[in-house]
Structure 1
């Protein structure tokens, strides 16, 4: 197993499980996860509200990129917290948070909101665990301590923008 790619985190999730990516952008990471065939279904959530380049054109790009997986993938155009009540607790085997690094994933709110949605033994992960994003490091470390979890990191080594920073993950 090559643990030098961001998407390799999926191999820690249950084969045939259900996952969700919070923060899809152009859908490149979702596509790479889908190509690996580890999950039976993957949801993607992004509001595409026009902030930081995440606009309707990026939504269309993600939609078209992921359309070939329509039987196993759904792209939800909404805020993360708006999607919360669509899923019961302990629903997901894999949750990947790649949202607002500049706010520390909304000061940790995203982590605390979505963790109950993860099954015991599931993978809770995210992007941007790097000194360039000190708020992410702070909220992830605090979250891990509060929940008595073990931090794991995947150092990405691909020369592409979306794989610039380490992926963090924990097993619930």
Structure 2
């Protein structure tokens, strides 16, 4: 595969699936600078991985896997970095952050952000309409485990929404 072919595939995927990638970014990065950094990391990983796509699954399934794995690694790396360097003004990102126009959507993203990495990934996949089978392949867990976890997540979010 030539570099031009790789670039063409990458640009096509990025254009067609940008919203999917931004959902993942927004669920793992919580201020504008971090979102930019994470999106760039994901884009780099997708570009590097174009040649390893074997067409054994849908492009969206494969992109989800690449993006989620990159987001999880990035989160771990960022957490280690933040543990070593305490921010001068911890609340600065709150002051500067842009509030989404829909409060329900903002609440949902806040709740998703508080879930552990697997549950967060499952929630995003569920919201994007992936089947349990596809979710199990992307995350490497059984379909029955996917079902159990999704039921628990739904119950948790329902309980939290009733308290809000």
**Same fold, judged at TM 0.5 (above):** no
Give 1 or 2 for the bigger CA radius of gyration. 2
**Which is richer in strand?**
1
Q: What TM-score, normalized to structure 1?
A: 0.26
Q: What TM-score, normalized to structure 2?
A: 0.27
